Amino acid sequence: MSEAVTTDAAPTVDTPWPVGLLSAKIRGYIERLGTAWVEGEITQWGVSGGNVYGKLKDLNEDATVSFTVWSSVKSRLSADFKQGDRVIALVKPNYWVKGGTLTMQVFELRHVGLGDLLERLERLRTQLAGEGLFDTSRKKPLPFLPHCIGLVTGKDSDAEKDVIRNAQLRWPAVEFRLAYAAVQGDRAVGEVTAAIQRLDADPEVDVIIVARGGGDFQNLLAFSDETLVRAAAACTTPLVSAIGHEADRPLLDDVADLRASTPTDAAKRVVPDVSDELNRVQQARARLGSRLTGLISHEVDRIGQLRTRPVLAGADWIIDSRSEDLTRYVARGVELTGRLLERAGSQVSELRGALRALSPQGTLDRGYAIAQRADGQVLRSPEQAPDGTAFLLHLADGRLNATSVGSTAGDAAGPTSAAAASDPSRSK
């Protein structure tokens, strides 16, 4: 067993191959297969670390192989893939020696049949989304109560009947403006587009519903046409898409202002239920009445509490308390006024004494006299009254007429004294 075994020698019970040798030979055989295009259905699709690990099943037989899509290849794929997709893939078998597993390394992956169509729709969806046509910010709100609804649908279709019946059951006064159009086939795109544009130009239409019953994928393709979708995006009137059933998802659903799962759901979401609205009005009235009653009761209680307070129960206490204050203020005022008058009287007496002391009359009372010539000039020296000059002598309690006589310069009496002695006449 310890002897080396050549790779060309056939294995026997005495000379078996090591596992590594068998694995290497298997890997060599598999690698010589090269690449191949295969078709199948994806039954498993999982992403880990940027790589995809999945399984591909034969469409008719019970045969499955594992595959791997490395991240470098995945980034080049032009569409999204998921479990259930039918695809064709360019693969190369790859045997992992360490794990002993066989997997298919994928180099290219494409949808086939319906998958090709889905791939084109996904590319268009991505393009329109990049242009912002699916943004929620551009979606217009529906009117609360539309008076006129524009309905784009097939003539005498179940969708038409469902929308009108459910809408009128909820709000009997609602009106409809019908625009019939083919909802599948070659004429569908042009007729539905024209109907939307015609209703959008009608000023009486408040909201537009595009409705169609269920159908297979190909019957709904018209509602994913780029021309129709762009016409819906340019519509200034709020637009509701009610195409197919919940599982259907045409591009019109993404660009519409509201997506309804069915035509019946569109009628219920566009038109309010009159009974529900009446119930809401009744509830609002009841809440408003209860609220007002509560507020009035609260204010009545507050007024009652205020009226029981002493300040409002009787006003006599205000007069009594203020009368005491008034008596105190009057007494204080009389006291302060008396002090002010007494102080002012003392000041007047002082000023009167000072005035009297400084007045000429006070000087005369002390025995002095004032000599004044006939022209009114007061005599201040003997030279101002030569001999024989007549003058008037002012005394404390009268006046004397006097005449000057000769005198010496040292005579203290002066000419006035001589005049008084020679002319004793007085004038009061």
Global pTM reads: 0.46
Confidence grade of residue 421 (pLDDT, cut at 50, 70, 90): very low
Long-range contacts of 104-108 (CB under 8 A, 24+ apart): 104/38, 104/56, 104/65, 104/66, 104/67, 104/68, 105/67, 105/68, 105/70, 106/52, 106/67, 106/68, 106/69, 106/73, 107/35, 107/73, 108/73
Neighbours of 131 (CB within 10 A): 11
pLDDT one-digit tens code per residue, 153-173: 999 899 999 999 999 999 999
- Phi first, then psi: give them for residue 59, nearest 5 degrees: -75, -25
CATH code at position 265 = 3.40.50.261
Whether 175 shows a pLDDT value over 90: the answer reads yes
Residue 210's pLDDT is 96
Residue 357: inside a domain: no
Confidence grade of residue 423 (pLDDT, cut at 50, 70, 90): very low
Q: Are residues 78 and 142 in the same domain?
A: no
Cβ atoms of 212 and 224 closer than 8 Å: no
- Boundary-marking domain end, from 64, 83, 112: 112
Q: Are residues 231 and 370 in the same domain?
A: no
Whether 119 shows a pLDDT value over 60: the answer reads yes
pLDDT one-digit tens code per residue, 315-371: 677 777 788 888 889 999 999 999 999 999 999 998 888 887 777 777 777 778 888
Residue 427's pLDDT is 40
**Strand ranges of the sheet holding 390-395, from the earlier edge strand across to the other edge:** 370-373, 390-395, 398-403, 426-427
Q: How many helices (H) and strands (E) does the chain have?
A: 13, 14
Give the chain's mean pLDDT.
84
Whether 408 shows a pLDDT value over 60: the answer reads no
Only one residue has tokens 């067993």, namely 1
Whether 182 shows a pLDDT value over 80: the answer reads yes
Could you tell me the residue range of the domain that residue 392 belongs to? 364-427
Measured in whole angstroms, the distance separating CA 238 from the mean position of its chain's CA atoms is 26
Compute the average pLDDT of residues 207-223. 82
**What tokens appear for 274 in the block?**
């009159």
- Boundary-marking domain end, from 246, 272, 298: 272
Residue 132's pLDDT is 92
Tally of structural domains, the chain: 3
Compute the average pLDDT of residues 57-81. 85
Sign of the alpha-carbon torsion through 152, 157, 159, 165:
positive
Confidence grade of residue 61 (pLDDT, cut at 50, 70, 90): confident
Residue 313: inside a domain: no
Confidence grade of residue 417 (pLDDT, cut at 50, 70, 90): very low
Nearest to 82 by CA among 41, 45, 54, 111: 45
Whether 113 shows a pLDDT value over 60: the answer reads yes
Residue 106: inside a domain: yes
Higher pLDDT, 381 or 113: 381
- Phi first, then psi: give them for residue 32, nearest 5 degrees: -75, -10
SS3 call for 48: strand
